[in-house]
Structures are given as C-alpha cells and as structure tokens.
Amino acid sequence: MRGTRHVLTATLAASALVLAACGGGQGESTDGTTTLTINVYGDSFSLPDNRSIYDEYERLNPGVEIVENRSDFSTHHQNLQARLTAGSGTADLELIEVGQVAGFVGQHDRFVDFLDRGVDPGQWTDAIVQQASTPDRSALIGLPTDVGGLAMCYRTDLFEQAGLPVDRDEVSELWPTWRDYVETGDRFLERAPDGVKWFDSGGHVFTGILGNEERTFYDRSGELIVESNPAVRAAWDLTVQAIRSGQSAALPEFSPEWNTGFQRGQFATVTCPAWMMGYIQGNAPETKGKWDIATVPGGSGNWGGSYVTVPAQGEHVEEAVKLAKWLTAPEQSITIFQEIGNFPSQRTTWDDPEVAEFSSPFFNDAPAGEIFPASLADAPVQISGPQSAVIGKTFADKLNSVEQGTPPDEAWQQAMHDIRAAAGAG
C-alpha cells in the first residue's frame, strides 16, 4: 500500500504548508500525473496498518496521485483562513470541522458551491447540510464526512476492580443523567485502583453535557449567548463539582499526556463520540478488549463531524470536486466506519447491514451500529456560530486551569473575557 508515502506527518506538514502558500496544489507532473492535495487535521481518512482510503481512488483513477498534508486542529483552520484571505495557497481540498464551518460559510464565494456540481443534499440529514449552507440555502460549501453521535466508553477491567457492573446495559442504567454520572464517579473513587480517576478531563465532560443542547454558545439570530444561557453555566458547575471531588485525571484533550492516559489506564470513562473509537484504537492498541461502550448520560447527543470543501482558488477544481464526492460517498463512509469508527453522515447508510449490524471487536463486540444511531435519533439540531470551536476550546482550557488549582469563579470570568474578545463582543 502507498498510504504512508502520501501522508505528511504533522511535523513535515508545517513545512509543506508554508511552501504551499506560494501556490495551490502541486499541479501536473511531467509524466502527466495530476497531483491533488488535501489539507486535513487528525486521521480523517487514514486506515489501520498504514493504509489510506486514497489508495482505492488512485487505483480507480490512473494518473491521479493524492498528497495529504496533516496538521493539528487549530493550525489547520488558521492556515486555511489565512490562505483564503491571501487568495492563494490552499490545497485542492480542505477539511473543515463542524464547529468551524459557520465561520467559512460567510465566505461561500471562496469555495465551490456543490449545489452547482450535481450534488443531491438529500442523502444527508437536513441538519447536517444546513450547517454548511448559506442561510438562504442557495449554496453548499462542504460535503459531510461523518457525524459524532455520543456514547460513553468505559474500561471494564477498572469498573470490575471498583465493584461496578461491567455489562453495558447495566452500566447505562448507572447514569440516566449527567448528575448520575458524576455521582457514580464518587462511588468509583471509593474503590478505584491506585492512581485511576473517573474521567480524562473536565473539558471533555463539559462538551458531553452540552452535546444534547440545541442552544449553547449562539442563538438562531447569531447572537452570542454564552453568559446568559443557563445550560452553559449548569454544565460548567456540574463539571467543576466533579473536578473538585477528585474525579478528573486532568489530562488536556488531544495532548501527549492524554494519549498516555489511554495507554496506561489512568481513567475509567471517556465521553465517546463515534470518532473516539478510532482515536482510542490508534493510541492504545494494547487495550483491545478492555473497553466497552454504554449509552451517554441523557440518552442522546452529538459532538463532531467534518466537511470536505473545494476552495475556488485551486488549480484542479474539477478533479477536486470529483474526489470530494467520492470521499463522502456511502461506500467510503461505511469503510471508514468499519475500519476506524467515524460514523457515516448519510442517513441512508444507517439501515445498511454493514452499519446497523456492525460490532467492534476492540470494544468487546459493542454494537456500535446500534448505539450511535440511537444517540443521534433524538439529538437536537445544535446551533453553531463562527467561533463555536474556539469557545469550546476556551472552556476546555479554563476547566483545565481549575484542575490545576485556579478558583472556579476566577476561571469562569477569564473564560468570559477571552470569549468576548474572540467573538468580537467586547
């Protein structure tokens, strides 16, 4: 397989992206090969064993080579905005996370409109399409890749050692609400193995609590409502309560320490959108069989998802549109779900036996094809705004500061200040 040779690691990607700023894709080589570049964050299209979903596309399309540039979440989106503003330097295809897409929809003239390219938006749920569409629904800048239905992943071995049930149905009954989840954490700590905490980080719990809320940081008019929304403050207070009772391992999300926490079993539960399955498998392969998946507190919710976009400035727009359609087609979405866990955005795939009957050997044969659609069935259509992802990161950082000893009220005020500054509201 050629997957490893056309994926640039995060370290190499920084240099590659700086060079790319002088021009878009790498163009056509002297031997007639068309090179398409795609900028991503994380392992969006990678498969286990150094394979890539791109390999199949190259096989089906001789003369096309795909080069993936991978960087961290924040750097990726900042670079995209800078290159759009400059009018050059984007890749042929760019991935945008659901919490960031609202900020780019306002620049829809800088992207290909997929409604003009023969795309039928009806293959996805309306809520998913709406987030990447202009308010009047006249343009669609991105094709959905996956959706992050919420569950709770837990370590059966650590539960057993602490005297808690391990059967996934019995575990789900422990926490009908997030408050019950926190109370169960107190029970866990009474008999927990030395050094093991209930969850990984406060920011992750906070995001999970808000995963079943329609209104979080913005209202439908686009107004910032963080300070006035009681759901946000309630999520903060409950998370702080759990932190102060000693439940958090205080491992910042997506940090090296967080990855080590998975590997060493430093926490027993983690709020688990579908894509988290792939993250755990990739970072802690030796924990196979020790994990299972239960219902998320509250029963439903969503966290995450992405869109493949084609910047209008690209050198190979037609070829890029073709690749974008292929990457987000049901066949590829099903393959990615089965291989790494990212749950398909296409509602039509959810009843496909390859999805509905899928169980994950890594997670003790948990019926992932049933758990995540059930979580999404009653999940509200969340309202997002231009700075939703930045605001979420701000809360995660401030909760981490609480974990390090900052008084909660002080951390809350710091969060409000930073959010107002980021959103241009103060």
Residues 158-167, mean pLDDT to the nearest whole number: 98
- Pairing between strand 51-52 and 142-155? unpaired
Give the model's pLDDT for residue 50.
Answer: 76
Stated pTM of the model? 0.84
Residues 196-211, mean pLDDT to the nearest whole number: 96
Higher pLDDT, 388 or 84: 84
Return the structure tokens found at 80. Answer: 């995209």
Give the model's pLDDT for residue 24.
Answer: 46
Can you tell me the distance from the alpha carbon of 331 to that of 187, in angstroms, rounded to the nearest whole number?
44
**Residues 100 and 306: beta-carbon distance below 8 Å:** no
* pLDDT higher than threshold 50 for residue 98: yes
Can you tell me the distance from the alpha carbon of 302 to that of 382, in angstroms, rounded to the nearest whole number?
8
Give the model's pLDDT for residue 224.
Answer: 94
Give the model's pLDDT for residue 30.
Answer: 52
Give the model's pLDDT for residue 4.
Answer: 32
First to last CA, the chain: 52
- Nearest-CA neighbor of 296 among 203, 171, 164, 166? 171
Return the structure tokens found at 83. Answer: 């290159």
Residues 255-260, mean pLDDT to the nearest whole number: 92
Residues 321-375: tens digit of each pLDDT: 999 999 999 999 999 999 888 899 998 899 999 999 999 999 999 999 999 999 9
Give the model's pLDDT for residue 47.
Answer: 81
Write down the mean pLDDT value for the chain.
89
Give the model's pLDDT for residue 236.
Answer: 98
The full set of domains in the chain, from first to last, is: 3-146+305-356 (3.40.190.10), 148-303+360-423 (3.40.190.10)
Residues 116-140: tens digit of each pLDDT: 999 999 988 787 898 899 989 999 9
Can you tell me the distance from the alpha carbon of 132 to that of 110, in angstroms, rounded to the nearest whole number?
13
Return the structure tokens found at 374. Answer: 């059930």
Percent of the chain with pLDDT strictly greater than 90 = 72
Largest CA distance in the chain: 67
Residues 4-31: tens digit of each pLDDT: 334 443 333 333 333 333 334 456 555 6
Give the model's pLDDT for residue 280.
Answer: 94
